[in-house]
Amino acid sequence: MIPKAGQTTMAVLSYLEAIRETLRQEMQRDSRIIIYGEDVGVRGGVFRVTEGLQKEFGEDRVIDSPLAEAAIVGTAIGAAVNGLRPVPEIQFADFIFPAINQIVQEAARIRYRSNGTFHVPLVIRAPFGGGVHGALYHSQSVEAFFAHVPGLKVVIPATPYDAKGLLASAIQDEDPVLYFEHKAAYRSLKGEVPDERYLIPIGQADVKRQGKDISIITYGLMVSYALKAAEELEKEGISAEVLDLRSMRPLDVEAILETAKKTGKVLIVHEDNLTGGIGGEVSALISEHALFYLDAPIMRLAGPDVPAMPYSAPLEHAFMVTPEKIRDKARELAKF
Amino acid sequence: MAKSKALYGLDLDADRLRTMYYYMVLSRELDKRIWILNRQGKSAFVISGQGQEGVQVASALALNPATDWLAPYYRDMAMVMAFGMTPREVMLGQLGRALDPSSGGRQMPSHFGHHEKHILTGSSPVATQVVHAVGLAWSMKLKHEAGVVLTSLGEGSTNQGEFHEALNFAAVHRVPVIVLVENNGYAISVPQHREMAIQDVAIRAQGYGIPGVVVRGSDPLEVYQVIYEARRRAIAGDGPTLVEAKTHRYTAHSSDDDDRSYRSREQLEEEKRDDAVVRFREWLEQEKLWDREAEDTLKKRVKQEVDDATDYAEAAELPDAGTVYDHVYGSSPA
């Protein structure tokens, strides 16, 4: 059961606090969960997501690891095989690449290659995304690399509420889940979060705003940006629906097709680079299954095809997708 | 050969010594049969452990399969059999059969894995298993389980970053793991001096602050002693040990390789004079634990087991094509 407002006690939490409180709640109920990574223990993480957890759960459950991403993920695989529920943190998504061999070749393939006799329930948390002057190596969106890989699940919450329900689901999932947290959302996004535990099924998108003229399909920080854009568009008489994918793998094909059929005009938005991004897959699904419902070509608004986000403000702004850019593109689509 | 008296104090008795020899011979003969099946066109790929049986069997027998785990690599057929996999199970994997316990015919042969028998599934990119072994052993420590993990790899694989990351992690957290390097002198075609600027891989242990031990792979008793001691240290909470066994690879890297292009026949003959299977038999004979009659009986038994494994696997079903989508994900309670 997913509790709704008014049915349970709530607290207004930031996106970051929602993640921390979920980790705490899950660790209290499941002694198999261990957290480790660079600086997650004494320091409580460079973003302070795990602050206080080592004090509460001890050094055997919240562990500062050596600075070595392949070892962080690889040891989590070994521990998961032996019945623990590791929730390792990669300090920045940009630093996940030394572990890609362990994630893609090992974690993703172990169930398949062992004919189902081994599996690795683990959750890799990593802050991602830009707009925080993080430059090339502290701003990246890496979800498309992993969404390509059968055997992995990839989720990105857009609200504090979703952050809790998705993380709880990820932790109790029997397969490896990548849980990406937008670092610009950590403190800027706040919302009501029920105290009690609840699960948001992985693979289920969510209509964050109903609309009838166009559909904006997006995820992560871009959801709140799209909602802002939708408010402005409303004033211009354009009714925009906002679909939050929440899960990049598996995609909620049904929800994608439903909104496409409903409005007939689809704008896909992501901060990740345009080419090979999630938008291409979403677009292909709509083309394959809902082409004759469309009243306009599918449009995509995404990070430009440059290697990564630059540092200096004008350059960073030129890369970032903003509410204004979404509004303008959506208007273009509505008027098609 | 190490002194037998010392060994009896290490849990070895005459039966166990004969068992050690049995697994070495069984593996050698099963391996030879697999090459024949390859040449007959019945098995597409062979990757062989001939020459390394002494290291592998002695290591496995120094462990306790009830509490310990193996994270082996693709030459470890003798090791996994001495740890509990049967010749039939090996052959099912070799022929890609549905009942192959390692992978149901999904992986190339010799990618051993067996959950019930505590053998961790492995892949082809080298040294990835070392990190898994460390994580598994670390979890044993966190859960207060009395056991160790032994992981093995070739010397060329010790150049991988994951080898370094794993040993460093294991050393910091005093993880009950034994990392066994089976140094056969070649990474496919590249000789050791082109892989690293050191003679002994074991000295890499110094960089992690853990013991590094070199053993002669053709002396199974010495290997047994070293692994036994490494296990004792691990169980006692003293952390990991890096063991390097100097050994030999008597075949090409795989059935798709031809070692004549990089190793002279004279060199190979020289290596074959240090064959653990021969040396260990000679030692058993010297100790009056073995004779011609015992050898004949063993050879007959092994031939029968190899025949049985071959017949059994050849008659076994291939996987159904419809199962290609199975086991991508498990069922999730969410």
The mean pLDDT of chain A is 97
Among candidate residues A119, A133, A138, A317, the one labeled active-site is A138
Q: Is B12 part of a structural domain of the chain?
A: yes
At residue B3, the pLDDT reads: 52
Is-catalytic flag, A138?
yes
Q: If you search the block for the tokens 């030999």, which residue do you land on?
A: B248
Chain B partners within 8 Å of A1 (Cβ): none
Instruction: Give tens-digit pLDDT for A137-151.
Output: 999 999 999 999 999
Bridge partners of residue A182, in order along the sequence: A128
> Other C-beta atoms within 10 Å of A287: how many?
13
Residue B268: CATH number of its domain: 3.40.50.970
Smallest Cβ–Cβ distance between A106 and the set B114, B123, B139 belongs to B123
Best A64, A113, A166 member to test B by mutation, with max B CBs in 10 Å, is A113
Smallest Cβ–Cβ distance between A78 and the set B136, B143, B329 belongs to B136
At residue A8, the pLDDT reads: 74
At residue A278, the pLDDT reads: 98
Side-chain half-sphere exposure of A47, counting CA atoms within 13 A: 25
- CB proximity list for B230: less than 8 A, separation 6 or greater: B178, B211, B213, B241, B243
Q: Is B116 part of a structural domain of the chain?
A: no
Q: With contact defined as beta carbons under 8 Å apart, do A291 and A162 qualify?
A: no
At residue A2, the pLDDT reads: 59
At residue B333, the pLDDT reads: 39
DSSP string, A223-257: HHHHHHHHHHHHHTT--EEEEE--EEES--HHHHH
CB contact (8 A) between residue A65 and residue B139: no
Q: Is the pLDDT of residue A85 over 80?
A: yes
Q: Mind telling me how many Å the CA of A176 is from chain B's nearest CA? A: 9
Q: Is B15 part of a structural domain of the chain?
A: yes
Task: Say how far apart CA A264 and CA A244 lie, in whole Å.
Answer: 17
* DSSP percent split of chain B into helix, strand, coil, nearest 5: 50, 10, 40
Give the ipTM of the model, two decimals please: 0.95
CB contact (8 A) between residue B128 and residue A78: no
Task: Say how far apart CA B227 and CA B243 lie, in whole Å.
Answer: 8
Q: Is B332 part of a structural domain of the chain?
A: no
CB contact (8 A) between residue B330 and residue A174: yes
Q: Is B40 part of a structural domain of the chain?
A: yes
Q: Is the pLDDT of residue A80 over 50?
A: yes
Q: Do the strands A62-64 and A33-37 form a parallel or antiparallel pair, or are they unpaired?
A: parallel
Smallest Cβ–Cβ distance between B138 and the set A75, A106, A114 belongs to A75
In this complex, how many residue pairs, one in chain A and one in chain B, have their CB atoms less than 8 Å apart? 156
Q: At what angle do helices B220-235 and B53-61 cross, to 10 degrees?
A: 40
Q: If you search the block for the tokens 């290591």, which residue do you land on?
A: B59
Task: Say how far apart CA A223 and CA A182 lie, in whole Å.
Answer: 11
CB contact (8 A) between residue A75 and residue B134: yes
To 5 degrees, how large is the angle CA B267–CA B268–CA B269?
Answer: 90
Residue of A nearest to B161 (CA): A70
- The CA-to-CA distance between both ends of chain B, in Å, stands at 58
Residue of B nearest to A81 (CA): B136
- Is A75 touching B (CB cutoff 8 A)? yes
CA distances from A300 to A267, A321, A325 (A): 6, 11, 11
One-letter amino acid for residue B88 of the chain: R
Task: Say how far apart CA B213 and CA B222 lie, in whole Å.
Answer: 11
Q: With contact defined as beta carbons under 8 Å apart, do B316 and B98 qualify?
A: yes
- Cis peptide leading into residue A250 (ω within 30°): yes
Residue of B nearest to A103 (CA): B128
Q: At what angle do helices B161-172 and A69-81 cross, to 10 degrees?
A: 70
User: B333 burial class (0-12, 13-18, 19+ CB within 10 angstroms)?
Assistant: exposed
CB contact (8 A) between residue B115 and residue A114: yes
Complete domains list, chain A, with CATH? 10-194 (3.40.50.970), 206-334 (3.40.50.920)
Q: Is B276 part of a structural domain of the chain?
A: yes
Q: Is B117 part of a structural domain of the chain?
A: no
Per-window interface: A 251-290 vs B, CB < 8 A: none
Task: Say how far apart CA B180 and CA B154 lie, in whole Å.
Answer: 8
> Other C-beta atoms within 10 Å of B188: how many?
13
Which residue ranges of chain B lie beneath pLDDT 70? 1-11, 332-334
- Residue B115: which H helix or E strand, with range? none
Q: Is the pLDDT of residue A94 over 90?
A: yes
**In the structure encoding, which two tokens stand for residue B66, read together?**
């009830």
Instruction: Give tens-digit pLDDT for B3-33.
Output: 555 555 556 788 999 999 999 999 999 999 9
Q: Is B119 part of a structural domain of the chain?
A: no
Instruction: Give tens-digit pLDDT for A260-309.
Output: 999 999 999 999 999 999 999 999 999 999 999 999 999 999 999 999 99
Domain total in chain B: 1
Q: Do the strands B177-183 and A123-128 form a parallel or antiparallel pair, or are they unpaired?
A: unpaired
For B140, the domain range is 4-110+124-315
Task: Say how far apart CA B297 and CA B301 lie, in whole Å.
Answer: 6
CA-derived radius of gyration, chain A = 20
- Give catalytic residues of B, as residue numbers: 249, 253, 262
CB contact (8 A) between residue B161 and residue A173: no
DSSP string, B256-322: T--GGGTS-HHHHHHHHTT-HHHHHHHHHHHTTS--HHHHHHHHHHHHHHHHHHHHHHHHSPPPPGG
Helices (DSSP H) in chain A: which residue ranges? 15-29, 53-57, 69-81, 100, 110-113, 143-147, 160-172, 185-188, 221-235, 253-263, 278-290, 313-319, 323-334
Task: Say how far apart CA A244 and CA B183 lie, in whole Å.
Answer: 53
Instruction: Give tens-digit pLDDT for A188-235.
Output: 999 999 999 999 999 999 999 999 999 999 999 999 999 999 999 999
- Is A112 touching B (CB cutoff 8 A)? yes
